[in-house]
Amino acid sequence: MLVVPPRFRLTLAAAVAAVALSGCGATAEQVALNGASVTANTTRLVVQTAETGALALYRAEQIAAVDLVKAQNGTREQAEAAVLAVRAKWKPVWDAIDAAAAAHTALVTAIVAYDQGKQVIADVTRAAVALATAEQEAVAVIEQAKGAR
Amino acid sequence: MALAFVASLLQFLAEEAPHLVDEVRKLVTTWADRKGIPHEVLLAALGPVDDRVKAVDTAVNQHIAELWGDQTQPDGSRK
């Protein structure tokens, strides 16, 4: 199992640097592998925290929409339409989180395959970059959904 | 077994006390690391984000039903 203390959040730039280092021999490979492991661990926490916050907002927005319809003596159909609008707005968020989860799984798989000699370090670092990108996209989509409240 | 319990607990919290989910998930993640449970196994046990979204949607649907009453007829149609 990959357990690297999340001392810092690996940025996309750092992941790209890890890719650059990946062609520089055994020591550089170890640096790249460590970077990829940190990416896997820290991104997991970042996406997990963002997802939890997004779910809480998602629920709060729907409840507020329903309560507003009720306060205005609206119908059940109006309340259902209101929550459907909220759900449609948040759909891209769940897609982005799913994509980040898939990228995380791909990175973990790549690291295990590298350990078993089935993949080269360049594959691992590419997966790390993909995960860092997916994480940034997920966080950006969540911020966009929050801003559209 | 313990993972199934944790998954059920998180599902319950997502519906009944979403403000607690973040802290409990952190605890679960730390616990899984300590127990040597691979992250992919933990994720599989907790289910995809879709499951958690559906849990929220179900709670909201219940809220609507509570406010307007269940209008479902015996034949499944609505008033």
Q: Phi and psi at residue A25, in whole multiples of 5°?
A: 100, 180
Q: Are A2 and A40 in contact (CB under 8 A)?
A: yes
User: By CB neighbour count within 10 A (0-12 exposed, 13-18 middle, 19+ buried), where does B42 fall?
Assistant: buried
Q: What is the pLDDT of residues A117-135, one digit of tens each?
A: 888 888 999 999 999 999 9
Tell whether B46 is within 8 A of chain A (Cβ). Answer: no
Task: For chain A, give the percent of residues with pLDDT over 70.
Answer: 82
Contacts of B68 in chain A (CB under 8 A): 70, 75-76, 79
Contacts of A103 in chain B (CB under 8 A): none
Tell whether A53 is within 8 A of chain B (Cβ). Answer: yes
Whether residue A138 is contained in a domain is answered as: yes
Q: Are A1 and B36 in contact (CB under 8 A)?
A: yes
Query: What is the SS3 assignment for B72?
Result: strand
- The DSSP call for residue B78 is B
This complex has an ipTM of 0.71
Q: Are B39 and A109 in contact (CB under 8 A)?
A: no
Range of the domain at A97: 12-147
Tell whether A84 is within 8 A of chain B (Cβ). Answer: no
Cα→Cα distances A74→A78, B26, B64, Å: 6, 40, 12
The residues in A 108-127 lying below 8 A from B, measured between CB atoms, are: 108
So what's the pLDDT on residue B11? 72
So what's the pLDDT on residue A3? 39
Domain count, chain A: 1
Q: What is the pLDDT of residues B4-16, one digit of tens each?
A: 788 778 777 766 7
Please state, in angstroms and rounded to a whole number, the distance separating the CA atoms of residues A6 and B66: 44
Whether residue A5 is contained in a domain is answered as: no
Which comes out higher in pLDDT, residue B71 or A98? A98
Contacts of B53 in chain A (CB under 8 A): 55, 58, 90, 94
Which comes out higher in pLDDT, residue B39 or A81? A81
Looking at CA atoms only, how far is residue A57 from chain B in angstroms? Answer: 10
pTM of the model as a whole: 0.67
Q: What is the pLDDT of residues A87-127, one digit of tens each?
A: 999 999 999 998 988 888 888 888 888 888 888 888 999 99
Contacts of B21 in chain A (CB under 8 A): 52, 55-56
Q: Phi and psi at residue A116, in whole multiples of 5°?
A: -90, 5
Tell whether A95 is within 8 A of chain B (Cβ). Answer: no
